[in-house]
Structure 1
Amino acid sequence: MLWSLAPVIYGPTVLFALGEGAVIPLLPIFASRLGADVPTAALVASALVVGQLCGNIPAGWSVARVGERVTMAIGGVIALGGVAGLALAPNLALLTASVFVIGFCAAVFGLARHSFMTTRVPLSFRARALSLLGGSFRLGMFVGPFIAAALLAVFGDEHATVWFFAVCLLATVLLVMFGPDPEARAAPARTRLTPVGDSRVAEDTGEPVTGAIPTAERVGVFRTMWRYRGVLSRLGLAAASLSAVRSARQVVLPLWGVSIGLDASTIALVVGISGAIDFALFYASGQVMDRFGRLWAALPAMILMGAGFLALSVTHDLPQAAMWFALFAAVLGVGNGLSSGILLTLGADVAPVADPAPFLGSWRTLTDAGGAFAPLLVSGLSAAFSLSLATGAMGIVGLLGAAAFIRWVPRFVPRGR
């Protein structure tokens, strides 16, 4: 099933991520060309994360009403407008708005694919399918900066990466609109209605069907948030802690390398090796979750990353600080790789099968908020105290998140998942 649908499931994800990955490293440069200082350039780049936060809930509303395919196409077209603004922006205000629009559309695109996989992929290999989806995104984000470097070497103009992103978006929209319709080729998993509280929610049995599908009443985004406030405030916050630790890794490792006096090429090499380890493990994570259960991937990942941050935090002034930096960067890469797809999979597991998109909008907003909060926490603690204390604090967040997964995954995720 996944091989037959790969061009329309994973292909658009790779294309979008390739373009985004090529542009993101150059956002501060675009801002500085328009007169921004370093703090203002950082603010412009952060508009991408703000856009993602703001896009999840509207994306859930759109998917519930017009479907995944149409939502993806709309998101791609709007993102083309954001890319045009990025290339032609005459001032910082328009540049920031364009970055916000791209982040917003990235959320729309991601939620549409997540919703499709939740309703169409059988439970027996759901985790592997969603890990592949996460791996497709990581592939694009990993390769994108290298494509940007090649384009800069050939054309000598940063805007070449923007036009590359535009080409990727155009190809994505064409593939979504004119490729085989995944919603028609992949029938929803068989559902049966079971009472949950005062509503009837469809339960996924993992069996493909071709006949009529019983569905629960569509209740909208905000009523869905209220109805599922228990799982969102418990398991959702545990998921947000995982997202926070992941995001902190991307911030802490370069800062740590600078703080201990390494040159830029050495830092890039260490961070690149950590990223390569992370990418190499994305499918193994799905195998573990499908064969042994979700907790067997979430728990080792959180313990490794939490312990890795804590251990790194005490090595700053050691004689062999560079060696410890490389070692714990690799440990963090292993932990992050083992967590590939876990947020997507847990969201799919606890979402109402009949109408998952509104719930997934809330779920993804929580996890994105965790990822957005972590760099602010690291920055604030580093400024007020030290980078070592900020790194140790993220280790504590990781271990608390591990405890939360132990507590809430068995309660909210059905046995056998």
Structure 2
Amino acid sequence: MAESARGVLLRFAPMIYGPTALFALGEGALIPLIPVIAAGLGADIATAGIIASALVVGQLCGNLPAGWLVARVGERLTMTGAGILALGGAAGLALAEQLWVLAGSVFLIGMCAAAFGLARHAFMTTRIPLDFRARALSLLGGAFRLGMFAGPFVGALLLGITGWAAAAAWFFAACLLACVALVLLGPDPEARAGAETIVVPPRPVAVDVADADAADTGEAVTGGIPLPGRRPAGVLRTMIAHRRVLARLGLAAASLAAVRAARQVVLPLWGVSLGLEAQTISLVVGVAGALDFALFYASGQVMDRYGRLWAALPAMLLMGCGFLALSVTHESGDAAMWFALFAAVIGVGNGLSSGILLTLGADAAPPRDPAPFLGSWRTLTDAGGAFAPVLFSAIAAVASLGIATGAIGVIGLLGALGFLRWIPRTRAR
């Protein structure tokens, strides 16, 4: 008899959701203080920014090796190894006396975050039944968002109590120890459920694939690539076999990651350009973040009940139109009111997109060996997230803040068209 969604989600809490929230909580406490630590070692503003960006670079560089590693040693060992290595990065960051040591530690943490995230993504992809896959992955995204939302407050509290920015690094180390303990010692979801309830999830449409290249139409893969008598495909081979879905649906997903990342830069800068006080800007961004967090599970419900497109398309339209509308309000008499309104619209759109990238990646991945594909998928989406703030800053430098904000809105609308064209019209039920 099939197990209920609630039973499966609760069963995965100790090994997946708990470690995810802890990892994000520690990382969220640390990230805002990395430039502060760098400045304390003598870095100027530009150098501190480069050191802080080493986290994103590490994530980009870590996805493909993580896909190779998960395919060979498994998810549990990869998550454990990533947590232990990240401990070394946290200690190096706290004890660094030279900038190159600090940069290397931040880069290592980024690589470990990529491996940890990919391993849990692959774990869920192969073990969660399709009927409630989107809800499970939206809850995973919600656990991450909760940690990243609360983390900066913990970091500020530690800084206020100790007066020592590196205290956040030791807090991150403590969170990592708890993560590793949960992954290693927590109850095995498969053992608790029994072999009959944890199987590779069925695909919406069965596809008999004799030749991976011949079957690659650019649509999301809905059937496994048979590998009788062969070893699991490597990362490069998987990228080639699925090049069209990565170039089409993957690029649409990268545009979503780009719009998400840009909003974290656009909204604060827009408030500053209007001359608003820091407290007002923080309040507006905080309310948008609260709306975002409140909707994370609703996204999974919509995707499971009505199809992936019904969450992806409204999310991209809300964010794209929100940025476009915001871009023409700077000189209006009620610019502050429009800023608050469209920040909330963008927050709602982002909340509706919770778990979409995880779910689409899981849907498109070969069910028998998803890790190499997910490494490519996450590299593409992380690249979109890293590229957007750079593009926004470049356009703002040569044109204006309004034009740069409008460009982000255009990316959102193009991504909506990509989702409309490339998301398969399937439902779990």
Task: Pick the TM interval, shorter chain.
Answer: over 0.9
Shift of 1:185: 4.2
Change (3 A) 1:313 1:22: same
Shift of 1:416: 4.8
Asked if the contact 2:201–2:367 (Cα under 8 Å) also holds between the matched residues in 1, the reply is: no
Asked if the contact 1:216–1:354 (Cα under 8 Å) also holds between the matched residues in 2, the reply is: no
Task: Give the structure 2 partner of residue 210 of structure 1.
Answer: none
Task: Give the structure 2 partner of residue 207 of structure 1.
Answer: none
Q: Deviations over 1:360-413 (max 9, x none)?
A: 000000000000000000110111111111000000000010001111113xx6
1:353 to 367, 372, 378: 367
Asked if the contact 1:60–1:111 (Cα under 8 Å) also holds between the matched residues in 2, the reply is: yes
Shift of 1:121: 0.1
Task: Give the structure 2 partner of residue 327 of structure 1.
Answer: 341
Work out whether 1:19 is the aligned partner of 2:26: yes
Shift of 1:2: 1.4
Work out whether 1:117 is the aligned partner of 2:144: no
Task: Give the structure 1 partner of residue 200 of structure 2.
Answer: 189
Asked if the contact 1:60–1:359 (Cα under 8 Å) also holds between the matched residues in 2, the reply is: yes
Task: Give the structure 1 partner of residue 157 of structure 2.
Answer: 150
Give distance in 2, aligned partners of 1:251 and 1:142: 16
Change (3 A) 1:315 1:63: same
Stretch deviating more after TM superposition (283-292 or 319-328): 319-328
Give distance in 1, aligned partners of 2:229 and 2:421: 31
Task: Give the structure 2 partner of residue 379 of structure 1.
Answer: 393
Greater per-residue strand proportion: 1
Change (3 A) 1:272 1:173: same
Q: Deviations over 1:131-157 (max 9, x none)?
A: 000000000000001111221222221
User: What stretches of structure 1 of length at least 5 have no aligned partner?
Assistant: 205-212
Task: Give the structure 2 partner of residue 208 of structure 1.
Answer: none
Shift of 1:162: 1.0
Give distance in 2, aligned partners of 1:185 and 1:357: 24
Structure 1 segments of 4+ aligned residues over 6 angstroms from their partners: 213-216
Task: Give the structure 2 partner of residue 166 of structure 1.
Answer: 173
1:222 to 203, 221, 236: 236
Work out whether 1:42 is the aligned partner of 2:56: no
User: What stretches of structure 2 of length at least 5 have no aligned partner?
Assistant: 1-7, 216-220
Shift of 1:195: 2.5
Asked if the contact 1:240–1:368 (Cα under 8 Å) also holds between the matched residues in 2, the reply is: yes
1:392 to 381, 384, 406: 406
Asked if the contact 1:303–1:399 (Cα under 8 Å) also holds between the matched residues in 2, the reply is: yes
SS at match of 2:262: helix
2:282 to 263, 268, 272: 268
Give distance in 1, aligned partners of 2:404 and 2:374: 31
Task: Report how many residues are paired.
Answer: 407
Asked if the contact 1:289–1:296 (Cα under 8 Å) also holds between the matched residues in 2, the reply is: yes
Give distance in 1, aligned partners of 2:139 and 2:49: 31
Aligned-pair identity in percent equals 70
Give distance in 2, aligned partners of 1:338 and 1:215: 42
Asked if the contact 2:130–2:428 (Cα under 8 Å) also holds between the matched residues in 1, the reply is: no
RMSD: 1.9
1:314 to 328, 348, 352: 328
Give distance in 1, aligned partners of 2:49 and 2:25: 22
